[in-house]
Amino acid sequence: MSPKSKPDTLENKIALFNRKHREIEYKLSRQRKFLTSLKKPYNIKEIQMRFDNLKQEFEPTSILLNELIISIENAGQEVSRFYKLEFEKSEDEYFSIMGEMSEIISDSDNFNNHPNSTVKQSISWTISNQQIRLSEITIPKFHGSIEHW
Residue 98 counted as domain residue:
yes
Q: What is the pLDDT of residue 66?
A: 86
* pTM of the shown model: 0.65
Q: What is the pLDDT of residue 121?
A: 46
For the chain, the domain total comes to 1
pLDDT at 141 over 70: yes
| Torsion from C-alpha of 39, 57, 70, 83, nearest 10 degrees | -40
Residue 69 counted as domain residue:
yes
How is 85-145 classified by DSSP, letter by letter? HHHHHHHHHHHHHHHHHHHHHHHHHHHHTSTTHHHHHHHHHHHHTS---PPP---PPP-S-
The CATH number that applies at residue 31 is 1.20.58
Q: What is the pLDDT of residue 132?
A: 61
| pLDDT tens digits, one per residue of 30-80 | 999 999 999 888 999 999 999 999 999 999 999 988 888 888 777 776 777
Residue 76 counted as domain residue:
yes
